[in-house]
Amino acid sequence: MTPIRRIAFTAPVLLACLLNAPLPAQQKKKKSDDEGMVLPPVITEDKKKKKKDEETQTLPPPAEPPAAVVADTDRISFQVSPLSNKGLLSQQTRDALKTMLRTNHGATIVKLRAFVAGSGDLRRIGEIVAEVFTEKHQALPALSVIQAGALPMEGAQVVIESTGLEKKAANPNGLGFFSGQAAPGVTQSLERLKSALRSAGTEPGDALRVTCFVSSLDDPAGTGRAISSAFPSAAINYVQMQREPVSPASECEAVARLHEAPATDVRFVNPPELDKSPHYSQVVLVNSPKLVITGTQLAFGAQENDIKLAFERLQRALGQFHAGFQRIAMSHVYLTSTSITEKVRAVRATFYNAATPPASTLLPFEGLPSLDATFGVDVIALPGEATASTPH
- Phi–psi pair at 353, nearest 5 degrees: -75, 115
Q: Which of 35-49, 99-113, 335-349 bottoms out in mean pLDDT, i.e. has the lowest?
A: 35-49
**Reduced DSSP (H G I as helix, E B as strand, rest coil) percent helix, strand, coil of the chain, to 5:** 30, 30, 40
Q: What is the predicted pLDDT for the residue at 108?
A: 96
Q: Is residue 137 part of a domain?
A: yes
Res 10 pLDDT > 70: no
Give this prediction's pTM. 0.84
Taking the C-alpha atoms of residue 270 and residue 179, their distance in angstroms, rounded to an integer, is: 10
Alpha-carbon 144 to chain mean position: 5
Q: Do 86 and 162 lie in a common domain?
A: yes
210 DSSP 8-state letter: E
Domain boundary among 147, 170, 193: 170
Q: What is the predicted pLDDT for the residue at 235?
A: 98
The arithmetic mean of pLDDT across residues 211-225, rounded, is: 96
Q: What is the predicted pLDDT for the residue at 1?
A: 42
Taking the C-alpha atoms of residue 176 and residue 186, their distance in angstroms, rounded to an integer, is: 21
| CB 236 within 8 Å of CB 152 | no
Q: Do 160 and 75 lie in a common domain?
A: yes
Q: Do 255 and 191 lie in a common domain?
A: yes
Q: What is the predicted pLDDT for the residue at 105?
A: 83
Q: Is residue 97 part of a domain?
A: yes
Among 377, 347, 346, 337, which residue's Cα sits nearest to residue 360? Answer: 377
Taking the C-alpha atoms of residue 380 and residue 331, their distance in angstroms, rounded to an integer, is: 7
Q: Do 163 and 186 lie in a common domain?
A: no
Res 371 pLDDT > 60: yes
The arithmetic mean of pLDDT across residues 267-281, rounded, is: 95
Q: What is the predicted pLDDT for the residue at 33?
A: 42
Q: Which of 6-10, 64-68, 96-100, 279-283 bottoms out in mean pLDDT, i.e. has the lowest?
A: 6-10
Beta bridge partners of 12: none
Percent of the chain with pLDDT over 90: 80
Interstrand relation of 175-183 and 76-80 (parallel, antiparallel or unpaired): unpaired
Taking the C-alpha atoms of residue 303 and residue 186, their distance in angstroms, rounded to an integer, is: 34
Say how many CA atoms lie within 13 Å of 353 toward its Cβ. Answer: 22
Element (H, E) at 160: strand 158-165
Q: Do 355 and 338 lie in a common domain?
A: yes
The domain spanning residue 81 has which CATH number?
3.30.1330.40
Q: Which carries the bigger pLDDT value, residue 271 or residue 386? A: 271
Q: Is residue 7 part of a domain?
A: no
Res 13 pLDDT > 60: no
Split at pLDDT 50, 70, 90, the class of 385 is low
Q: Is residue 57 part of a domain?
A: no
Number of structural domains the chain divides into: 3
Taking the C-alpha atoms of residue 318 and residue 146, their distance in angstroms, rounded to an integer, is: 21
Taking the C-alpha atoms of residue 298 and residue 372, their distance in angstroms, rounded to an integer, is: 10
| CB 182 within 8 Å of CB 133 | no
The arithmetic mean of pLDDT across residues 49-72, rounded, is: 71
Among 266, 268, 282, which residue's Cα sits nearest to residue 385? Answer: 266
Taking the C-alpha atoms of residue 257 and residue 205, their distance in angstroms, rounded to an integer, is: 9
Q: What is the predicted pLDDT for the residue at 384?
A: 85
Cα–Cα distance list, 142 to 164, 170, 294, 335 (Å): 11, 21, 6, 20
What single letter denotes the amino acid at residue 223?
T
Taking the C-alpha atoms of residue 237 and residue 328, their distance in angstroms, rounded to an integer, is: 23
Q: What is the predicted pLDDT for the residue at 316?
A: 97
The arithmetic mean of pLDDT across residues 251-259, rounded, is: 98
Res 27 pLDDT > 50: no
Q: Is residue 374 part of a domain?
A: yes
Res 60 pLDDT > 90: no
Structural domain boundaries enclosing 71: 62-170
Q: Do 159 and 223 lie in a common domain?
A: no
Q: Which of 23-32, 115-124, 167-176, 222-231 bottoms out in mean pLDDT, i.e. has the lowest?
A: 23-32
The arithmetic mean of pLDDT across residues 18-38, rounded, is: 43
Mean of per-residue pLDDT scores for the chain? 88
Q: What is the predicted pLDDT for the residue at 119?
A: 87
